[in-house]
Amino acid sequence: MSTRLSKLLDPARISLAVQNTKRTSAINEVARLLESHPDVVNFQGFYNELLARERLDTTCLGNEVALPHARTEHVKKIVLAVGRSAEGIHFENSNQTVRLMFVLGTPKNNPTDYLILVGALCRLIKDAASREALLAATTPEAFITTVVELEQRIFGDEK
């Protein structure tokens, strides 16, 4: 397993202009980018688990970033979609505004990869300059390029 988020990113699964400002609608909007993903076996099942997890506890990481996620048998491999909102999405359960959302689905039988990825994401966004670079990317491709550059700076040649 690579600890690189960039390996999971696909321009078709990145929305840089999320329209919804309400938490559940915005999560739905970003999660739908995964509906046609070949590794998502049952989108509705995955989405229901995503919402159930979100109801359990907030997925806000702070610094205007959220990580709605589900460990589920409805995905064959780790899947990731990204949503960005200029206006901000209100996460009322933690009273935070989110501008970057990473929707993650991981297979139930692989908790280690999930933890590695979450750790990598947290390292990537803890620096204000890194978050600003992600918020400034003008296209999904530029967003991915920014993630690759940040990963190289943080992880170097780590495999």
User: Tell me: the pLDDT tens digits for 56-78?
Assistant: 888 888 899 999 999 999 999 99
Top pLDDT among 74 and 157 is at: 74
Q: Quick one: pLDDT at residue 3?
A: 65
Q: What is the mean pLDDT of the chain?
A: 92
Classify residue 150 as exposed, middle or buried by CB count within 10 Å of its CB (0-12, 13-18, 19+).
buried
Whether the pLDDT of residue 1 is over 60: the answer is no
The CATH number of residue 103's host domain is 3.40.930.10
Phi, then psi, of 42 in degrees rounded to 5: -140, 100
User: How many beta carbons lie within 10 A of that of residue 147, not counting itself?
Assistant: 24
User: Tell me: the pLDDT tens digits for 104-123?
Assistant: 999 998 888 888 888 889 98
Give mean pLDDT, residues 151-156: 86
Top pLDDT among 93 and 153 is at: 153
Q: In whole angstroms, give the CA distance from residue 62 to residue 35.
A: 27
Total tally of structural domains belonging to the chain: 1
Q: Quick one: pLDDT at residue 17?
A: 97
pTM of the model: 0.93
Q: In whole angstroms, give the CA distance from residue 158 to residue 37.
A: 28
Q: Quick one: pLDDT at residue 35?
A: 97
Q: Which range marks the domain in which residue 122 is found?
A: 5-155
Q: Quick one: pLDDT at residue 103?
A: 97
Q: What percent of the chain has pLDDT over 70?
A: 96
156: left (phi over 0), alpha (psi -120 to 50) or beta: left
CA 113 → CA 2, 10, 91, 134, 155, distances in Å?
8, 19, 26, 23, 16
End-to-end CA distance of the chain: 9
Whether the pLDDT of residue 32 is over 90: the answer is yes
Whether the pLDDT of residue 2 is over 70: the answer is no
